[in-house]
Chains A and B, each alone.
Chain A
């Protein structure tokens, strides 16, 4: 009996996901443990229940159905993203919400996984070949369409997720990696340039390594590297010559949450919260930074401070280890899947989650610029939680059907 379950039910993904959701619930409870206590926590608790049902659904719907529904779902999502631009509610400057009763739904959270499924479905077709320019363009187009719609909200953080998953998806699907490097390098350098000289230099270095590692011949690599640098420099050149107010607009667009209260206030308080936690932490509900609301809206993007402050290095490391195990498991599932669709989709899911984890935690610890994306399973937010639990369910589904061609 248990052997049967073990064969078809991935306990690891299930247990790790539930553990992360539980840590998230504790964290949200602590972060909102004051006058507003209850309301936010109860909503999150409710969403966890919904998410768990969604996880089970995603885990047990037949794989073929998912594959078949991918493109229709994708088309629907595009329509919804268009509609939300017109009819959506604006929260924190982005028109990205639908009001459903007292709760909000954020279609862009679901768009991520739907897009991954669509790309996987397209690439999984036996007629698709990535060496065909048309197919490659179609694949990139599949990703770019929702990205543009989300950029229009505008929600740069989420849009960046789409760009970030393109690379591992195509790489996994077997695209010519030098081509990938040539496409990606200018983007890395251009984005880096907008964040300042240091990140520009880092971007150049990363591009150089990418191009050298993937090169077929040195000449092509050199030409590509030259082009990359020209792109990066011209971004800086153009940016430097813009009027100050336009620069500010662009910076605010790239980095909408930067400095709402002056010089890096959020990041500073977040670092103080995590650092003051020390090895053992200050204890549940005893973190002064958390309890006295030093980090605005901590229960959303800065939730990592809560385990960091209240459970210290032990608690924060546990979160990292759990994410590490989940993502490792995801790569493993992708590797053992005999089915192209599920293999590529699994990598897509791993990419989405990895980007969120790395950028969010890096931001909380002052390593990366403040980009407003939530920490999967921990941050408050119903749509993200349900979408992320669906992803976990999908991983379980792929595992169960790993031997199906």
Chain B
């Protein structure tokens, strides 16, 4: 091995071969990789390269309008400007300036931008919505030194009517992280989404469809023009309008009557279940949810111990009190347990075992009609013992107590209608007494109903047997081609003999129209009203005041349920409100005062108006 280097030693054939093979192997590795990238992965990498150069700018659709049964706008849409930040273009050193121009907290703003960046560095993310004019001008003046800031033209709800209708309309809120996690691809951070009431139930129809504009961008995210001359762009599609069965004038009137109460009022059209008014008090102003909502407003609403966000018309389980007596009456008459000749004598109390069950008055000898008219508890106590729980339960089920009504709102509670199985389950077999049945006879105890269920019950009695499914939206309207999609009303026929209903209806007519009736305060001029009052004991203080009714008696156009929490007697507090609402609906106005003689000689033109009305 100690030979000196010689040309013949250098690069002998074997070494030449080794080097050439090495070269070929290297080239082969590169070629295989080239083949893999350009031919095998071409589709995937080609798509990536396309995504690289295209940005889509979302164009928000205009949300559908909400219109009442007479075509009056209930929920309108107005313009709103939002501020967006494109993280890739925004210089975080400008954060304090932007925060002070918007008047928001720096930390919260940084947080929103960070969330947007996590979604996409290149997509504009909304950092503030519905800015006012001053903020808009201040931002525009500073736009030259705030790269990455833009405005998005959006819409917000405007409520032009006098009614709040908070619980039926509901509201939209900015989508939460939790909602975002389960929502479809449609939504992004900062989007508004219907979160309660009709806005939530009809979110898919109201929202419309986002449009987008595709723009070509370079590697720095700078826009260099429309992508493929904009041929892939899509205009936003406005949402569908909701045409309500609600009479917004009546709604506003009912709200005004309920202003100082906690409780609910539901009025519906007995012929098809269309809701005419749905009030829950206390309520809230839905416009605080539109546009920019102050976080403090949300906190205040949630912290309010009167629960203004809670829909008392549909989500409550109140004991119905005496308004429930017609169920027992129907069970007794339908099963032939009694007829109108059957009488009990009321001495003001009934004793079962050692325990006295009280009545309000001493009613003396009463039949079923008089017992309804005067709301005699003792009569119904004894009747319950003759009828028993299961037949009572079966009739209650025919009115669908204990079931959801199926109204087009997500916020609904099915309430409670107990049967033997229920008592056995809750108290244990043989461990509950017939005393529970006596409570149920007068709508107390283990029973829970919502005002909505009670309005439907009143409607079914009024129409002699149509159990309707209440609804708020009678049709959706597509403004693009002006087509209507009508919702067919749904109802069941009550499986009770006509004479049974006739007897009960007569009792309810007398409640309002005869001496000794408990609901005389619900009378409406020129119309025969039928109804029933209730005064429900409850563990939360004063009795709840109930009234249910319908009018006109022979061909009901309106059925109503009114519930006032802790207001005492139904006949005194709830009945007058129901009467005014029925009057307003049936006559189009309140006419009762026009029959009163004017206290002083009236001016000429007013007097002539009165004459005209009286003449009608």
Contact = CB atoms under 8 A, between A and B. Distances in A.
B107 interface: no
B8 to A, nearest CB: 9
Interface in A329-350: 331, 334-335, 337-340, 343-344, 347, 350
B483 interface: no
B38 A293 contact: no
B23 A276 contact: no
A272 B5 contact: no
A365 B52 contact: no
Contact of B33 (A312, A328, A357, A365): A365
B38 A172 contact: no
A176 interface: yes
Contact of B23 (A132, A174, A354, A362): A354
B44 interface: yes
A128 B4 contact: yes
A317 B20 contact: no
B11 A293 contact: no
Interface in B1-53: 1-7, 9-12, 15-16, 18-20, 23-24, 26-27, 29-31, 33-35, 37-39, 41-42, 44-46, 48-50, 52-53
Contacts of B49: 272-273, 275-276, 288-289
Contact of B219 (A278, A294, A320, A350): A294
Contact of A274 (B10, B38, B52, B53): B38
A316 interface: yes
Contacts of B338: none
Contacts of A271: 37, 45
Contacts of B23: 324, 327-328, 331, 350, 354
Contact of B16 (A129, A279, A335, A361): A335
A172 B15 CA distance: 7
Contacts of A405: 7
Contacts of A313: 34-35, 38-39
Interface stretch (A94-102, A119-127, A194-202): A119-127
A65 interface: no
Interface in A291-334: 292-295, 308, 312-313, 316-317, 320, 323-324, 327-328, 331, 334
A193 B1 CA distance: 35
A43 to B, nearest CB: 23
B217 interface: yes
B431 interface: no
B218 A320 contact: no
B192 to A, nearest CB: 32
Contacts of A323: 27
Contacts of B16: 331, 334-335
A305 B532 CA distance: 85
Nearest to B54: A288
Interface string A40-65: 00000000000000000000000000
Nearest to A314: B38
A324 B27 contact: yes
Contacts of A367: 29-30, 33
B118 to A, nearest CB: 13
A344 B52 CA distance: 48
B231 interface: no
A278 B218 contact: no
B197 to A, nearest CB: 45
Interface residues of A, number: 61
A173 interface: yes
A171 B402 CA distance: 94
Interface string A139-172: 0000000000000000000000000000010011
B38 A343 contact: no
Contacts of A292: 52-53, 217-219, 224
B355 interface: no
A37 to B, nearest CB: 14
B10 A331 contact: no
A131 interface: yes
A129 to B, nearest CB: 5
A105 interface: no
B44 A129 contact: no
Contact of B20 (A123, A293, A328): A328
A401 B344 CA distance: 137
B218 A127 contact: no
Given A275-B45, A294-B52, A320-B31, A129 B38 contact: no
B15 A171 contact: yes
Contacts, number: 152
A173 B38 contact: no
A339 B7 contact: yes
Main secondary structure of the interface of B (DSSP, over half): helix
A126 B11 contact: no
A212 B2 CA distance: 24
Contacts of B27: 320, 323-324
B220 interface: yes
Interface in B80-104: none
A327 B176 CA distance: 62
B5 A347 contact: no
A232 interface: no
B141 to A, nearest CB: 29
Contacts of B26: 354, 357-358
A130 interface: yes
B6 A340 contact: yes
Contacts of B44: 275
A277 interface: yes
Contacts of B19: 168, 171-172, 331, 347, 350
B3 A129 contact: yes
Given A277-B38, A279-B39, A362 B11 contact: no
Interface string A243-284: 000000000000000000000000001011111111100000
Contacts of A331: 16, 19-20, 23
Contact of A344 (B10, B20, B31, B53): B10
Contact of B38 (A124, A275, A357, A361): A275
A347 B11 CA distance: 9
A358 B30 CA distance: 7
A174 B41 CA distance: 44
A317 B11 CA distance: 29
Interface string B179-212: 0000000000000000000000000000000000
A276 B45 contact: yes
Contacts of A324: 23-24, 27
Contacts of B41: 275
Contacts of B35: 313
A279 B30 CA distance: 16
A339 B5 CA distance: 11
A348 to B, nearest CB: 12
A10 B42 CA distance: 39
Residue among A176, A293, A335 with the highest chain B CB neighbour number at 10 A: A335
A340 B52 CA distance: 54
Interface in B219-256: 219-220, 224
B30 A334 contact: no
A33 B19 CA distance: 39
User: What 6 pairs across the A-B complex have the smallest Cβ distances?
Assistant: A275-B45, A276-B49, A292-B218, A275-B37, A294-B219, A276-B46
27 contacts: A125-B5, A127-B4, A172-B19, A173-B10, A174-B12, A269-B219, A272-B45, A272-B49, A273-B49, A275-B46, A278-B46, A288-B49, A288-B52, A289-B52, A308-B34, A313-B35, A313-B39, A317-B31, A320-B34, A324-B23, A328-B23, A331-B20, A337-B7, A347-B11, A357-B26, A358-B26, A405-B7
Given A128-B4, A173-B10, 19 more contacts: A127-B4, A172-B11, A174-B9, A273-B49, A274-B38, A274-B45, A288-B49, A288-B53, A293-B218, A308-B34, A316-B34, A316-B38, A338-B7, A343-B11, A344-B10, A354-B23, A362-B29, A365-B30, A367-B29
Interface of B: 1-7, 9-12, 15-16, 18-20, 23-24, 26-27, 29-31, 33-35, 37-39, 41-42, 44-46, 48-50, 52-53, 217-220, 224
